[in-house]
Structure 1
Amino acid sequence: MEDWRRIDIDAFDPESGRLTALDLIPPYVQSTNPQVVQQQISQLKSFATSGDIASAIQLLTSDPPYGADDSTKSLYFRAVLETLTQVRQADIANVVKQLQPQQQDVLIKYLYKGMSIPEGQRQGGILLAWFEKLTQVAGVQPVMHYLTDRRTV
């Protein structure tokens, strides 16, 4: 066994200057161009206004902007929140059943993000309805993936 008294704990201290924010980004996350995200938002809004909510949910969960900066992510999240609140509660289960497991994982990330910020807490009832239907359809697997995935929406 390695001598635990010889471990350099300063190497793990975030204030030591050795660890930067870029070190915390998972290696598999590509940076996202804000113009591409803006195009996705406009396409998402066009689906939502035309009444094709299933396609809008498919789009928002298929390619989330993991590598975007915080302002772009918050802009995208507002569009996601608008889309989620336009769905009638009776239709939520049907929309969730159409999603692939990876898309369900992304959806649960947006639900948790919505419940953690004031903008989403105002829409708490609809987000909880989405959460309920998602866990009824997919079980707790998306929750477990949310807890273990380092990528954030």
Structure 2
Amino acid sequence: MAKNTGASKFRKVDVDQFDEDKYVDEDDDQEVDVGPNEGEINALLAQSKQKEALVAALKNPPVGCKNQALKDKTTNLVVRVLQSFKNNEIEGCVKTLDSKSVDILMKYIYKGFEFPTDNSSATLLSWHDKVFARAGQGSIIRVLTDKKRL
């Protein structure tokens, strides 16, 4: 007859790792060199190169950063770049962006709605219309369900 010793040394498998309801947040420590180069973007805007400024602004978003002040500063910079475009230039610029950049742009548009400035909402609505026409509902779903926020 076997004795019940209460020993648990024989248990080597962590059964909790197979639990669907157990959530562990994966931290990506990417805080090195996050955010676009503000000096480069300001120089491009001064030269009236809005398309290049937008590409530079979307290049290195601070989505993995925990510094909310940096995220807000970057969002204000991107909104300023978006406001520098004329309405008839928006569609042509959106067509030149790749799908990843379009999703990042959509993130900035939604984040820009949180901090409205003078006439920024109208500009962001124009951009949203053109980005939605290019990327469809998939872009909105990806932005709203992404854990990494701006």
Give the TM-score normalised by the residue count of structure 2: 0.76
Which secondary structure state, in structure 1, belongs to the residue aligned with residue 37 of structure 2? helix
Q: Are residue 30 (structure 1) and residue 27 (structure 2) matched?
A: no
Matches of 1:149 and 1:53, distance apart in 2? 28
Kindly provide the CA deviation profile for residues 78-129 of structure 1, in whole angstroms up to 9, marking residues without a partner as x. 111111100001000000001000000000000001112233x741100000
Kindly provide the CA deviation profile for residues 56-88 of structure 1, in whole angstroms up to 9, marking residues without a partner as x. 111111210223311111111111111110000
Residues 110-121 of structure 1 mapped to structure 2, 5 A cutoff: 110-119=108-117
Structure 1 residues without counterparts, runs of 5 or longer:
1-10, 13-22
CA offset at residue 28 of structure 1? Answer: 3.8
The amino acid across from 1:30 in the alignment is Q
| C-alpha contact (below 8 Å) 1:47/1:56 kept by paired residues | yes
**Partner residue of 2:145 out of 130, 138, 148:** 148
Q: Are residue 128 (structure 1) and residue 128 (structure 2) matched?
A: no
Displaced runs of 4 or more, over 2 A: 26-29
Matches of 1:111 and 1:50, distance apart in 2? 24
Instruction: Quickly say closer, same or farther: Cα 1:151–1:29, change in 2 above 3 A.
Output: farther
**Partner residue of 1:104 out of 102, 120, 142:** 102
Give the TM-score normalised by the residue count of structure 1: 0.75
Residues 2-151 of structure 1 mapped to structure 2, 5 A cutoff: 24=25, 26-28=26-28, 30-33=30-33, 37=35, 40-68=37-65, 69-119=67-117, 122-151=119-148
Kindly provide the CA deviation profile for residues 40-69 of structure 1, in whole angstroms up to 9, marking residues without a partner as x. 111111111211111111111121022331
C-alpha RMSD of the superposition: 2.4
Q: How much identity, in percent, do the aligned residues show?
A: 23
The amino acid across from 2:64 in the alignment is G
Which secondary structure state, in structure 2, belongs to the residue aligned with residue 118 of structure 1? coil
1:6 counterpart residue number? none
| C-alpha contact (below 8 Å) 2:58/2:101 kept by paired residues | yes
